[in-house]
């Protein structure tokens, strides 16, 4: 989603709320696609950023270090008998546009809720440490983030006279998972949660992502993913012959001549191009323009139209046309396809580095908690050339985390939170059938007070975005259903 309310994100690590936008001129990241939404500074004066004192390490009583965490407040709808709505930040900057727009505010107006949004540690302006060194990143985890939420909720309740209020957590994508886990781990602090597009099951290898991309493209045109596969296969073959590199460099308008010296050079280039389709599918027709998102007019229908246009040439030529279209849309002068540049950017631990917008932090979280690697290891998807080993090796390259450590961390995450078998109450799990992340989410009711809302034809965090006339009927019904659940739960 976007606030990184829809994370971010979650490749262009993308991922708020997780919410996950292609960053022009910056490195290419893996994860929740588009992890870094545009910051809407126009609302900075309307919704003044505020600061909350947090502990650096909630789980070490001997460590007294503190830092300031950013949050926003909208009390326009607040009534004395109303609840408190808490929007959870994700793998990118908290965007104050969400304090003015979004479904949660529609709900807030109806029930008289006070609305708060808390930025996630290590993202946006919430800097707990002096830099992003691997040693400092050990304080970046979902568990520390949940403890931040718990402490924020406790202190705000005590100091603002909100102790007798019912608190409802909201989040989309990775923050959606946090919303569910906040209710799971701190049930005395949060009364209910709306966990949108939440990947609650951690998995090192996530080939299902690209399988859903295939099905989502096919939902527009059965021939579309087949044409994408032909183009991808053709490109892979050409990469085996250095004599083709000059033409490929020109075709895709690369920033420097293509150099394929290692398997990871090829994998990075192939994944970069596949990302054009992955990003569009993940956010297909989502109403994201209000938060400053670019390229919302590029939909699955547009991509499949280009891939089906025989006047452009063979499928490879149409694949090139898609890449050019995306570069034009995001005002990119050229495409950086260098893994060495990516490695350099991701290894930069400075807050001023190009990966400090969220890339270095989020990939660290995938290496130490979640996995989520969108590999081409399944035959039932349209791309080729970036297998699991390519993704996992980056954990060693960037943070000295081995493949074995990644696997252990992912297993521990599922052990701690329960994965698909989450055991709690009053959490609703909306997901969209087009969104590849639904494969790691809850799409069927676990029990009456752990319901799923599976929305056919919609993408990532669709129900969180502002309503509009052209929304699918099932999306409007889903928003209404979630609100009815909240009404019911607030009476309990």
Which residue stretches of 330-387 are H helix? 339-347, 359-365
In which region does residue 25 sit, left (phi positive, over 0), alpha (psi from -120 to 50) or beta (all else)? left
Q: How far apart are CA 218 and CA 147, in angstroms?
A: 42
Element at 490 (helix H, strand E): helix 473-490
How far apart CA 388 and CA 401 sit, in angstroms, is: 15
Catalytic pick among 142, 173, 232, 375: 173
Q: Which of 32, 3, 27, 26 is nearest to 366 (CA)?
A: 32
Q: Taking the CA atoms of the chain, what radius of gyration do you get in angstroms? A: 21
- 255 contacts: CB under 8 Å, gap ≥ 6: 333, 334, 335, 336, 337, 338
Question: CA-CA distance, 205 to 391, in Å (whole number)?
Answer: 9
Query: Hey, how many other C-beta atoms are within 10 angstroms of the C-beta on 417?
Result: 22
Measured CA to CA, the distance from residue 210 to residue 376 in angstroms comes to 7
Q: Is 460 a catalytic residue?
A: yes
- Whether 75 sits among the annotated catalytic residues: the reply is no
In terms of Cα–Cα distance, which of 26, 13, 21, 47 is closest to 209? 13
Question: Quick check: is 377 catalytic?
Answer: no
- DSSP assignments along 145-201, one per residue: HHHHHHHHHHHHHHHTT-TTSPEEEEEESHHHHHHHHHHHH-TTT-SEEEEET---S
**Cα-based distances in Å from 114 to 97, 117, 168:** 16, 10, 10
Retrieve residue 343's tokens. 């490695």
Structure tokens at 292: 């400053």
Q: Which of 219, 435, 438, 471 is catalytic?
A: 435
**What's the rounded Cα separation, in Å, for the pair 346 and 394?**
10
Among candidate residues 191, 201, 391, 460, the one labeled active-site is: 460
Q: Give the residue numbers marked as catalytic.
A: 173, 435, 460
């Amino acid at each position: 989603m976007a606030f990184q309310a829809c994370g971010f994100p979650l490749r262009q690590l993308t991922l708020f709320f997780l919410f996950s936008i292609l960053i022009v001129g910056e490195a290419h990241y893996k994860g929740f696609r588009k992890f870094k939404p545009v910051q809407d500074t126009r609302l900075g004066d309307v919704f003044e950023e505020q600061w909350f004192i947090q502990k650096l390490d909630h789980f070490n009583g001997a460590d007294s270090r503190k830092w300031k965490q950013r949050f926003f407040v909208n009390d326009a709808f607040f009534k004395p008998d109303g609840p408190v709505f808490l929007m959870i930040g994700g793998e990118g900057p908290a965007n104050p546009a969400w304090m003015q727009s979004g479904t949660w505010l529609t709900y807030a107006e109806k029930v008289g809720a006070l609305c708060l949004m808390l930025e996630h540690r290590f993202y946006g302006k919430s800097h707990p440490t002096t830099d992003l060194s691997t040693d400092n990143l050990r304080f970046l985890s979902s568990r520390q983030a949940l403890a931040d939420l718990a402490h924020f909720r406790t202190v705000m309740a005590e100091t603002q006279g909100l102790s007798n209020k019912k608190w409802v957590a909201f989040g989309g994508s990775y923050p959606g998972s946090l919303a569910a886990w906040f209710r799971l781990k701190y049930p005395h602090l949060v009364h209910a949660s709306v966990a949108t597009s939440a990947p609650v099951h951690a998995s090192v290898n996530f080939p299902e992502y690209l399988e859903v991309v295939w099905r989502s493209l096919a939902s527009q045109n059965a021939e579309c993913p087949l044409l994408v596969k032909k183009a991808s296969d053709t490109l892979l073959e050409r990469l085996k012959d250095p004599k083709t590199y000059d033409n490929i460099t020109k075709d895709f308008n690369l920033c420097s001549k293509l150099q394929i010296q290692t398997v990871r050079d090829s994998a990075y280039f192939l994944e970069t191009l596949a990302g054009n389709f992955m990003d569009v599918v993940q956010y297909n027709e989502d109403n994201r323009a209000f938060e400053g998102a670019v390229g919302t007019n590029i939909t699955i229908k547009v991509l499949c139209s280009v891939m089906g246009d025989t006047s452009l040439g063979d499928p490879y030529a149409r694949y090139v046309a898609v890449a050019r279209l995306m570069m034009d849309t995001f005002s990119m002068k050229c495409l950086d396809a260098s893994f060495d540049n990516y490695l350099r950017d991701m290894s930069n631990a400075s807050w001023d580095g190009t990966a400090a917008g969220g890339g270095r932090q989020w990939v660290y979280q995938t290496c130490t908690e979640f996995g989520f690697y969108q590999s081409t290891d399944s035959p039932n998807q349209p791309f080729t050339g970036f297998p699991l080993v390519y993704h996992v090796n980056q954990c060693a390259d960037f943070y000295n985390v081995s493949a074995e450590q990644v696997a252990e961390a992912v297993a521990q995450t599922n052990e701690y939170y329960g994965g698909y078998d989450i055991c709690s109450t009053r959490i609703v799990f909306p997901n969209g059938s087009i969104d590849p992340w639904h494969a790691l989410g809850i799409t069927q009711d676990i029990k009456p007070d752990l319901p799923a809302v599976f929305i056919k034809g919609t993408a990532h965090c669709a129900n969180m975005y502002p309503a509009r006339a052209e929304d699918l009927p099932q999306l409007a019904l889903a928003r209404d259903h979630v609100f009815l659940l909240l009404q019911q739960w607030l009476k309990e």
